[in-house]
């Protein structure tokens, strides 16, 4: 496929068409995922849990994210690559710029960071310097200790209104994209409708502009219980490639996520 850009994804949102995101951490899966036609690859700090066996994403280092981003970039066949800034690698605007430069030089096309309106200054600095940013709202796994676990966010009116305001401020600051994790479907729909930038959902209902899943969840190989918002696409597939194609098709047909896979 031709190279996917921010212009491509914004155009899909404007046309009311969905796009698909999937995690990858190495060259082989990056090649397969992008060859199938998945528009965006996320090099997630989820690698701490699914590759390293950590209890959270917090131990993941910037050096590890650079290594895996470089590996993914080598195998990529035209998808847009988004890379996570890991825990405490963007605590100040200056640190955020330095960390983002490392990931962009490793092959990322976009960096993702977790947090609300406090990130506006950092996002504006990055945007002004040509670094596209995805702001991650809702359940932010790097703040799991403060949140008291992996819980749905935005369930009450006050926190929902705050998230809507955060989304507005971060778009205004220059965010190119939003990611919503574990929020009620109605809130996911409202935020998606009220911003002009693409919104990716994971456990945020079917109305966001795109869906993302962790590769290992989608293939049904994550140890323990799978998250409610995921689906094992290998159950009806004849190969890994077929499972990825089924995921892509389900997102674009808006049959994933189902009400049972939403909040």
**Closest C-alpha to 204, from 185, 217, 231, 219:** 185
Please report the pLDDT score of residue 111 as a whole number: 98
Rounded to an integer, what distance in angstroms lies between the CA atom of residue 86 and that of residue 250?
30
- Which whole number is the average pLDDT over 237-243? 98
Rounded to an integer, what distance in angstroms lies between the CA atom of residue 250 and that of residue 11?
20
CA distances from 119 to 116, 159, 209, 240, 254 (A): 6, 17, 23, 38, 32
Residue recorded with tokens 């050096």: 63
Residue 91 lies in a domain: yes
pTM over the 0.95 mark: yes
Question: For residue 109, what is the domain's CATH number?
Answer: 3.20.20.60
Domain housing 197: 6-261
- Which whole number is the average pLDDT over 87-104? 98
Rounded to an integer, what distance in angstroms lies between the CA atom of residue 225 and that of residue 227?
6
Residue 252 lies in a domain: yes
Please tell me whether residue 70 adopts helix, strand or coil conformation: helix
Question: Is 260 noted as a catalytic residue in this protein?
Answer: no
Binding-site residue numbers are 45-46, 84, 112, 114
Active-site option among 121, 171, 172, 181 = 181
Neighbours of 243 (CB within 10 A): 22
Torsion of CA 45, 76, 30, 132, to 10 degrees: 30
Q: Please give the DSSP secondary-structure letter assigned to residue 224.
A: S
Please tell me whether residue 42 adopts helix, strand or coil conformation: strand
Question: For the chain, what percent of residues have pLDDT higher than 70?
Answer: 100
Residue 205 lies in a domain: yes
Distance of CA 242 to the CA centre of its chain: 22
Residue 1 lies in a domain: no
Element housing 114 (H / E): strand 110-114
Residue 43 lies in a domain: yes
pLDDT digits (tens, 9 = 90+) for 201-219: 999 999 999 999 999 999 9
Residue 21 lies in a domain: yes
pLDDT at position 116 over 80: yes
Neighbours of 225 (CB within 10 A): 6
Binding-site residue numbers for 3-methyl-2-oxobutanoate are 45-46, 84, 112
Please report the pLDDT score of residue 224 as a whole number: 85
Count the helix, strand and coil residues of the chain and give each as a percent rounded to the nearest 5: 45, 15, 40
pLDDT digits (tens, 9 = 90+) for 10-56: 999 999 999 999 999 999 999 999 999 999 999 999 999 999 999 99
The mean predicted confidence, pLDDT, of the chain is 96
- Which whole number is the average pLDDT over 222-251? 95
**Closest C-alpha to 45, from 30, 56, 31, 29:** 56
pLDDT digits (tens, 9 = 90+) for 124-167: 999 999 999 999 999 999 998 888 788 899 999 999 999 999 99
Please report the pLDDT score of residue 149 as a whole number: 80
Total number of domains constituting the chain: 1
Please report the pLDDT score of residue 1 as a whole number: 61
Query: Cβ contacts of residue 154 below 8 Å, gap of 6+?
Result: 138, 160, 163, 183, 184, 187
- CA atoms lying within 13 Å on the CB side of residue 140: 20
Please tell me whether residue 137 adopts helix, strand or coil conformation: strand
- List helix spans (H) across the chain: 6-14, 27-36, 47-50, 62-75, 93-106, 120-128, 144-147, 157-173, 185-194, 215-218, 240-252
């Amino acid at each position: 496929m031709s190279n996917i850009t921010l212009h491509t994804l914004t155009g899909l949102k404007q046309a009311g068409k969905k796009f698909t995101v999937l995690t990858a951490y190495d060259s082989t899966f990056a090649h397969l995922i992008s060859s199938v036609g998945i528009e965006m690859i996320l090099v997630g700090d989820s690698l701490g849990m699914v590759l390293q066996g950590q209890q959270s994403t917090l131990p993941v280092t910037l050096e590890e994210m650079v290594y895996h981003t470089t590996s993914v970039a080598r195998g990529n066949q035209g998808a847009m690559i988004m890379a996570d800034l890991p825990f405490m690698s963007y605590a100040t605007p200056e640190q955020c710029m330095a960390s983002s430069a490392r990931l962009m030089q490793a092959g990322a096309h976009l960096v993702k960071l977790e947090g609300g309106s406090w990130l506006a200054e950092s996002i504006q600095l990055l945007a002004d310097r040509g670094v596209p940013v995805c702001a991650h709202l809702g359940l932010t796994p790097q703040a799991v200790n403060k949140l008291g676990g992996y819980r749905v966010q935005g369930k009450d009116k006050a926190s929902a209104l705050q998230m809507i305001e955060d989304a507005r401020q971060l778009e205004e600051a220059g965010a190119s994209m939003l990611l919503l994790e574990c929020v009620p479907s109605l809130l996911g729909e409202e935020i998606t409708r009220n911003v002009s930038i693409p919104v990716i959902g994971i456990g945020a209902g079917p109305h966001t502009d795109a869906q993302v899943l962790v590769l290992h969840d989608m293939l049904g190989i994550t140890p323990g219980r799978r998250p409610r918002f995921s689906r094992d696409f290998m159950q009806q597939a004849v190969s890994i490639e077929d499972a990825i194609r089924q995921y892509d098709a389900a997102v674009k047909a808006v049959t994933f996520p189902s009400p049972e896979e939403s909040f």
